[in-house]
Amino acid sequence: MTIQEVRTLSNEQLAQELDKSYREVMNLRFRAATNQLPNTNLPRTVRKDIARMLTVLRERELARS
């Protein structure tokens, strides 16, 4: 997910996407531990998406005050 895509989402949609991404990271960790993960970079890309979403939420919070 690119930063432009993240910025187009509302705060509620971002919260839903964050929840979904946190679950996905957990599932990817389990799959990596059991050697069922074909692409080992997936957890890293999902964590970076989470960081982008949290950054946009923080920017919006700072813009309000």
| pLDDT value, residue 51 | 97
Q: Where are the domains of the chain?
A: 3-64
Contact 31, 37 (CB under 8 A): yes
What residue has token string 């890293």? 44
* E strand or H helix at 42: helix 42-64
Residue 58 CA to residue 65 CA, distance in Å, equals: 11
For residue 60, give the nearest of 2, 11, 21 by alpha carbon.
11
Residue 51 CA to residue 57 CA, distance in Å, equals: 10
pLDDT digits (tens, 9 = 90+) for 15-59: 999 999 999 999 999 999 999 999 999 999 999 999 999 999 999
Q: Which CATH number fits domain 3-64: 3.30.450.40, 3.40.50.2020, 3.40.109.10, 1.10.287.310?
A: 1.10.287.310
- pTM across the whole model: 0.91
